[in-house]
Amino acid sequence: MKCHEVDYEILGHDMQIVEVELDMGETVVAEAGAMNYMEDGITFESRMGDGSRADEGVFGKLMGAGKRALTGESLFLTHFTNTGSGKKRVSFAAPYPGKIIAYDMSTAGGELLCQKDAFLAAAFGTEISIAFTKRLGAGFFGGEGFILQHLRGDGMAFIHAGGTVIEKQLNNDVLRVDTGCLVAFTKGIDYSIERAGNLKSMFFGGEGLFLATLKGTGTVFLQSLPFSRMADRILAHAPSGGGSSKGEGSLLGRIGGMLDGD
């Protein structure tokens, strides 16, 4: 396996973009809708598949698209190719506040598993598939951690995390995390979803019913603010009926809402 060797630069702080520099003939594969801007000379095409296997055939592409549908992602990936002369740049934006992780797959044993919505882009030649948790019974109730994206290759891959990124190095260790806080982990890490404590802790502890358990030796990437958690907070504080909030959380705000008929 030999992926295209792309150069890159990550721009910004809390709403980052990654700018990928392509030589003539080089290609980067990205999630549909992730492109921010591109220079003249770069062409793009939506394809059913990552293009890592030239002999994959129509049936193989359909199987790959079906697997992507299970993750809730688009059936298509967009291929950006430098068809002009000289170096050209194309950029991809993070979908919500957080950080972009640039990871050299050749240093991860050629494999990286990440949350189903974490993948942003990768050098052409990277195989993008899915993986399930070993314990399907727990997986159906485990939230974000049930279906993972499986990246294989020896080039650069770019994934997105919400909030602050925490990188943990495990050396035959065990780490238990909220399923939504897990972003990615490398080859050599055994991953499972397990029940979070006793029944009382599960239902009243506020930490969810299940936790992701990571065992082994390798690198684990965590995020401080999963998008699902941020969305839940926004919905919980959104005014009912689409009205505006007056004095959030205050007595005067609630009285004002009553007077407005909220």
Whether the Cβ atoms of residue 253 and residue 245 lie closer than 8 Å to each other: yes
Q: Are 35 and 76 in contact (CB under 8 A)?
A: no
User: Looking at the domain assignment, is residue 62 inside a domain?
Assistant: yes
- pLDDT tens track for 94-107: 888 889 999 999 88
Percent of the chain at pLDDT above 70? 71
Residues 6+ apart with CB under 8 A from 262: 239, 240, 241, 243
The per-residue pLDDT for 157 is: 95
CATH number for the domain that contains residue 167: 3.60.160.10
The DSSP output letter for 202 is H
- For residue 246, being part of any structural domain is answered with no
When divided into structural domains, the chain yields a total of 1
User: Per the domain annotation, does 201 fall within a domain?
Assistant: yes
Residue 252 lies in a domain: no
The answer to whether residue 243 is domain-embedded is no
Full domain range(s) for residue 29:
7-238
Tell me if 119 is assigned to some domain.
Answer: yes
Question: And the tokens for 66?
Answer: 């079906």
Q: Is the pLDDT of residue 115 over 90?
A: no
Residue 188 domain-assigned (yes or no): yes
- For the ranges 1-5, 123-127, 186-190, 230-234, the lowest mean pLDDT is seen at 230-234
Which segment of 123-137, 194-208, 213-227, 234-248 scores lowest on mean pLDDT?
A: 194-208
- Does residue 262 sit within a domain? no
Average pLDDT for the chain: 79
